[in-house]
Amino acid sequence: MKMWQWIFLCCMTLIGFTDAITVGSDVEAMKELKDSVNPGSIPAGSCLSSWNFSVDPCDTAFRQYFTCGIRCAGSPARVTEITLDAAGYNGSLTPGIAKLAALQILDLSNNLFAGEIPSSFQNLSSLQRLLLSHNRFSGNIPESVGGLQSLEQLSLDNNILQGSIPRALGGLKKLIRLELQGNRLSGDFPDLSGAQSLTFLDASDNLLSGNFPANALPPPLVELSLRNNRLSGTLWLDLAKLELLQVVDLSSNQLSGDLQSGFFNHPSLQQLTLSHNGFTSVQVPGNYGTNSELIAVDLSFNQIQGPLPTFMATMPRLSSLSLQYNYFTGTIPFQYAMKASSSLAGKEPLLRLFLSGNYLFGQIPAPFFHLSSDNAQLSFVDNCLLDCPAAFLFCQGGNQKTQSTCRSFTPLVP
């Protein structure tokens, strides 16, 4: 502390000048937050190491004592933001955080906080962003989080949370981004159709089960990821209502049945990833995919049978298609070869085509032989093709099935 600052503090004490800039309850909450962190996990130079409560936290004259981690506003000053650096802090999150009644942002991401998330969050009526990603929080997600009506972003991903996803989250009408991936959440997926502003939803890498939540998604949704769960049943979405949808990743679940044609003529969908499920067929869209916006489709590792869907070669923007390890039979459509070997006006060429692990037979269409690894990634190994020489890029690294295996193959009975 510089001499003039020391004299100033002494004078204030001597003359009884006790007016503080920061509201007292906010200072108490900040003290409790720092006290709840293991002192040995507060490295020199970190935000928390600079928090010195011998001075007023919101007084800019003493900013060298609160170099980062907080933001204040108003008069008297209220703490509106706490954003800690990723310094490896470990400890618990004190319930006293709820004293920060004007708090709008709480970001403790990328640290080692543990224990349960306190239910006292319900008192933070102004909270807009709650970011607790990449910590070690455990226990259930408090139902009280569903009462934070100002919340726009909730990021609880990559912790050790368990139990069900609170249904009250469906009532957060201002919520835009919800990240719950990388936990141990279980049970049915709740109805979030009432979250009228939700555009991003990721609950991947959990233990969610039950039938796919067909009517549980809000209309503004742009990106949906529920990969690596235990969702089952048929996949049906009211795609007419989800007209803004751009990304769908439901890979590594237990979904089955027909894949609805609406995915292939959706007005905005660009990426569809449904690998590692149990789909058995693909419905052909009425317009044959000519209006599709899809750029990448991955239907690998399913149980889809029948001929390869020729209509996919007509989708103008499709540049990546993976249909490997299904039960497709028949020949490789000539249209696939044309899309991979040429770039027509207004259409993207097929740069990545993976057909390995099926029961395709016959000759490989000639245009494929003119491609090189510089302009395409192709794989046709582990099929029943007549001539797939190892010298060509789409046959390297693997053989075709034996004749006996190909002859004995019987399509699955629906």
pLDDT above 90: residue 90: yes
For 68-362, which CATH superfamily applies? Ribonuclease Inhibitor (3.80.10.10)
Tens digit of each residue's pLDDT (9 = 90 or more) over 25-77? 999 999 999 999 999 999 999 999 999 999 999 988 877 888 899 999 988 99
How does DSSP classify residue 66?
S
What is the mean predicted confidence (pLDDT) over 73-96?
A: 94
What CA–CA distance (Å, rounded) separates 179 from 226?
11
pLDDT of residue 346: 64
Distances in Å between the alpha carbon of 258 and those of 94, 270, 280, 307?
A: 49, 20, 6, 15
What CA–CA distance (Å, rounded) separates 326 from 412?
11
Which amino acid, one-letter code, is at 297?
A: V
What is the mean predicted confidence (pLDDT) over 248-274?
A: 96
Out of 6-15, 85-94, 173-182, 398-407, which region has the weakest mean confidence (pLDDT)? Answer: 6-15
Which residues, at least 6 apart from 135, have a Cβ–Cβ distance to it below 8 Å?
Answer: 108, 109, 110, 111, 112, 113, 114, 158, 159
pLDDT of residue 375: 80
What is the mean predicted confidence (pLDDT) over 270-280?
A: 97
> 176, 152 in Cβ contact below 8 A?
yes
Residue with tokens 């979904």: 255
Q: How many residues does the chain have?
A: 414
pLDDT of residue 202: 98
Element (H, E) at 33: helix 24-35
> 244, 268 in Cβ contact below 8 A?
yes
What is the mean predicted confidence (pLDDT) over 325-332?
A: 96
CB atoms within 10 A of CB 102: 18
> 278, 305 in Cβ contact below 8 A?
no
> 81, 58 in Cβ contact below 8 A?
no
Strand ranges for 206-326 from DSSP E: 207-211, 223-225, 230-234, 247-249, 254-259, 271-273, 278-282, 296-298, 305-307, 320-322
pLDDT of residue 399: 86
pLDDT above 70: residue 16: no
- Rg of the Cα atoms in the chain: 28
How would residue 9 be classed by pLDDT, with cut points 50, 70 and 90? very low
Nearest to 104 by CA among 132, 78, 85: 78
How would residue 214 be classed by pLDDT, with cut points 50, 70 and 90? confident
What CA–CA distance (Å, rounded) separates 281 from 309?
10
pLDDT of residue 8: 41
How would residue 348 be classed by pLDDT, with cut points 50, 70 and 90? confident
pLDDT above 80: residue 397: no
pLDDT above 90: residue 372: no
Distances in Å between the alpha carbon of 334 and those of 128, 157, 179, 260, 350?
A: 54, 45, 43, 25, 13
> 286, 261 in Cβ contact below 8 A?
yes
> 342, 365 in Cβ contact below 8 A?
no
What is the mean predicted confidence (pLDDT) over 144-167?
A: 96
What is the mean predicted confidence (pLDDT) over 316-322?
A: 96
pLDDT above 70: residue 212: yes
pLDDT of residue 343: 67
What CA–CA distance (Å, rounded) separates 61 from 223?
45
What CA–CA distance (Å, rounded) separates 399 from 414?
29
pLDDT above 70: residue 17: no
Mean pLDDT taken over the chain: 90
Q: What percent of the chain has pLDDT over 70?
A: 93
Angle at alpha carbon of residue 273, lines to 278 and 161, rounded to 5°: 85
What CA–CA distance (Å, rounded) separates 339 from 355?
15
How does DSSP classify residue 193?
T
pLDDT of residue 387: 80
pLDDT of residue 12: 40
pLDDT of residue 390: 76
Out of 11-20, 48-57, 95-104, 319-328, which region has the weakest mean confidence (pLDDT)? Answer: 11-20
Which residue did the predictor score with more confidence, 145 or 372?
145
Nearest to 99 by CA among 120, 68, 77, 127: 120
